[in-house]
Structure 1
């Protein structure tokens, strides 16, 4: 029996969002039709962006610890609903004997024929070139907003993480207008808090949701059927 292992906690809302999307998109008529999942909601993993920017503790050993724990508990493969944490993907991948799905690569596979996309992400994801390092292999160009607009994206992400109730005051429209003015229609919500925030704010657009893409990949790997809407 296959078991999906979720290396989570970065943050808890993003982990719940992945689990919700796995359940929502699985074509299930009874409990046993759903995905058997092991979740390590490891909220103690140090902030990934802070480390990449040179201001925090290295989270690598915590990420490896979680991956090994999931493997020991019987996970058949690992998924990780955190874009910035994929900066450490190779290190984690090298410590486990089970497959470790690369969420960034799963997003790239969805962009068949698309040559340029916009990226909304943490400053750590921007600084670490996490998307560029994968997308270059697929011939997809990444457009990132200028530094002042990156601050707006970061503010939205961390306001949600911190449980603030004023995320509607963050001027995310300025960032979306930037991409619109460049004629970029496809925009990646490259932080797993962003799909949650955009749903709360009811922001509409042609957005690529890595959490949803990862959920669908998980369902497929489990040999389950994706629900058709």
Structure 2
């Protein structure tokens, strides 16, 4: 338990990967209409790049990352944070298990992203650009279906290969190559007549910067998560109503 002066309000499970966490931090700062430093939200970012590969674990059907994620959530709870954000889409495969043991509310990144999509989109299908593990888990597809939107990724391996490459190149720090791979993925969406896509991997917004095709709605799940966290913390009544 921290002292009251240094209590962080937002806890972030990060490092998955480090650039994606830095991007999430920047978006959280940008979401606050601050006039000075003190207007910003106090937060604790726990960056643990050593958490085992999430995508591979989901596809292989094992829970190797779960003990690490549980410990990260417990550590943030020990700091008495009000809410927790996990700056990794695939890690939300274990959302239920993590939420059950957390005093602080964990904001689900897919809920934030789909809420953002519904505010801007009236169509009935969207692509989900994500790791193979996130897609295998199915939580985006389920939530989209519940919202009346079908997950329709381009058919054939080239689209997912391009998404995988964009993610990998961001992790390697090869941002120009990442942008080219992301542009190729967007082109496959355009060729398939898709007008909306969700960037459902926290590396992808970095790769997508300045690459979004004209006329295509692209939802940044990291930005949606940051905005939701800020809104919940700046409006406690909204948070209470959401919990009812």
Q: 1:159 to 1:44 in 2, by over 3 A?
A: same
1:209 aligns with 2:220: yes
Q: State how far apart, in whole Å, the 2-side matches of 1:169 and 1:194 are.
A: 9
Query: Which secondary structure does the structure 2 equivalent of 1:118 belong to?
Result: strand
How many angstroms apart in 1 are the aligned matches of 2:87 and 2:181?
25
Once residues 54 and 78 of structure 2 are traced to their aligned partners in structure 1, the CA distance between those partners, rounded to angstroms, is: 24
The equivalences for 1:5-16 within 5 A come to 5-16=11-22
Residue pair 2:20, 2:87 contacting (<8 A) in 1 also: yes
CA offset at residue 198 of structure 1?
1.6
Q: In the superposition, relative to structure 1, how do residues 171 and 211 fare at CA in structure 2: closer, same or farther (>3 Å)?
A: closer
**TM-score, length basis structure 2:** 0.84
Aligned to 1:155: 165
Following TM superposition, by how much is the alpha carbon of 1:107 offset from its aligned partner in structure 2, in angstroms?
Answer: 1.3
**Structure 1, residues 167-192: CA drift from partner, whole Å, max 9, x if none?**
15854433222221232111111110
Contact 1:46 1:56 in 2 (8 A): no
Q: Distance in 1 between matches of 2:80 and 2:178?
A: 41
Aligned residues: 222
Q: Report the secondary structure of 2:198's partner residue.
A: strand
Q: Which has the higher helix share?
A: 2
Deviations 1:114-143 (A, max 9, x none): 421111111111222131122222122111
1:134 paired residue number:
143
Does residue 1:74 correspond to 2:80, yes or no? yes
Structure of higher RCO (CA pairs closer than 8 Å, 6+ residues apart): 1
Counterpart of 1:105 in structure 2 is 111
Aligned-partner Cα distance in 2 for 1:42–1:12: 8
2:183 alignment partner, SS class: helix
Distance in 2 separating the partners of 1:50 and 1:157? 14
Q: Secondary structure at the match of 1:100?
A: strand
1:160-219 CA deviation, whole Å, 9 max, x = no partner? 1122365158544332222212321111111100001122xx302331101111111111
The answer for the alignment partner of 2:195 in structure 1 is 185
What is the TM-score of this pair, normalised by structure 1?
0.89
Aligned to 1:92: 98
In 1, the alpha carbon distance for the partners of 2:114 and 2:16 equals: 22
Secondary structure, aligned partner of 2:46: strand
Which 5+ residue runs of structure 2 have no aligned equivalent? Answer: 1-6, 236-244
